[in-house]
Amino acid sequence: MQPVLISATILNFFIGSAIFRIFFKRRYLFSDRFGYTLTSIASAITSLSLGVSIYLLNPENIVIQGIVLICSVGIGILFGLMVNTQTVIAGVFNGGVGGIMGVMLGAVGLNPALCGLPMTIFTEQAMVLFFTFIGLVLHLVTAGLLFLALKS
């Protein structure tokens, strides 16, 4: 299960890097409004998917939550600096919130009783893989929608 989680984390990192690289090259082509939308969506979904993947790699270590939060805020700053200084604030906020949501989603995936949900009949391994792939698919769909919005 660890190789699958590591490969999903690396794939999420490369998807986020591709989103940043492509939009950074075209940053002069879109308006401030689209830049704000891009910053909000891209930083939140990248932080969420990386937060889930990183937390599920080592759920026992509480320092992982802080590392995910710092990395998520950094992701938000990078996406926010693409447009102007006003979008940096949106990037920091949405990146931090996405990272925290990713950690919470990973924790609920490991123990559904945290939210008062009944324990499922699935094994822990199946739940971890389910949440990892849901995060990966969500990241891919969001990246596709962002690229589609840029072309129109």
Q: What is the DSSP string of 67-120?
A: HHHHHHHHHHHHHHTTT-HHHHHHHHHHHHHHHHHHHHHHHHHH-GGGGTPPPP
First CA to last CA across the chain, in angstroms?
A: 40
The residues near 128 (Cβ < 8 Å, ≥ 6 apart) are 1, 5, 56, 109, 110
The owner of tokens 């969500």 is 138
- Decide: 54 and 64 in contact? Cβ < 8 Å: yes
What is the reported pTM?
0.89
User: Rounded CA gap, 91 and 143, in Å?
Assistant: 16
Q: Take residue 55 and report the two structure tokens written for it.
A: 């937390």
pLDDT in tens, the chain (152 residues): 788 889 988 999 999 999 999 999 988 888 888 889 999 999 999 999 999 999 988 888 889 899 999 999 999 999 999 988 889 999 999 999 999 999 999 888 888 877 777 776 677 788 888 888 888 999 999 999 999 988 87
